[in-house]
Amino acid sequence: MNARSRQARQTIRNRTRTQRAATRARRAINTGTPQTARTHLVAAGIDDTTAKRYAGAFSRGTTPTALIHTDVKLRGRRTKTVPVKLYDRAAFTARLAVYRPKDLTAARLFEQAAHQLAA
């Protein structure tokens, strides 16, 4: 196996991963139930790593539609219950219309996503 075929396989894996994440997010959004900011961002067309990076800042200062609690695994057998903010489509669209990260590349992605949702 040479470097070119390894690179091609990696490209296919990355595209598949991105496509599956976007499809999963769109399905979750289309159910009509409130979802996390990250899920909304992925469904809006932002890649999963960028959505994960900016979901916390995106949801800061915004009133969630619903609040649930989920368990997060810590080291060993310990778990911790943490709150998770959920947003409906209207709340997400309103926040996306005004939120822009400082990073210019990410800000452009967020602006494109907001423009697509507004149309």
* pLDDT tier at 59, thresholds 50, 70, 90: confident
- At residue 75, the pLDDT reads 94
Mean pLDDT of 14-42: 92
Total tally of structural domains belonging to the chain = 1
Mean pLDDT of 93-108: 90
For residue 45, the enclosing domain spans: 3-118
- At residue 43, the pLDDT reads 92
- At residue 2, the pLDDT reads 85
Mean pLDDT of 59-74: 91
- At residue 118, the pLDDT reads 79
Q: Which residue has the tokens 């507004």?
A: 118
- At residue 116, the pLDDT reads 85
Sign of CA dihedral 66, 69, 70, 73: positive
Burial (CB count <10 Å: 0-12, 13-18, 19+), residue 46: buried
Mean pLDDT of 60-66: 89
Pairing state between β 66-73 and 79-86: antiparallel
Report yes or no on whether pTM surpasses 0.85. Answer: no
Q: How far is CA 47 from CA 20, 21, 95, 113, in A?
A: 11, 9, 18, 11
Q: Which residue has the tokens 């991963």?
A: 17
- At residue 117, the pLDDT reads 82
Cβ neighbours of 35 (radius 10 Å): 22
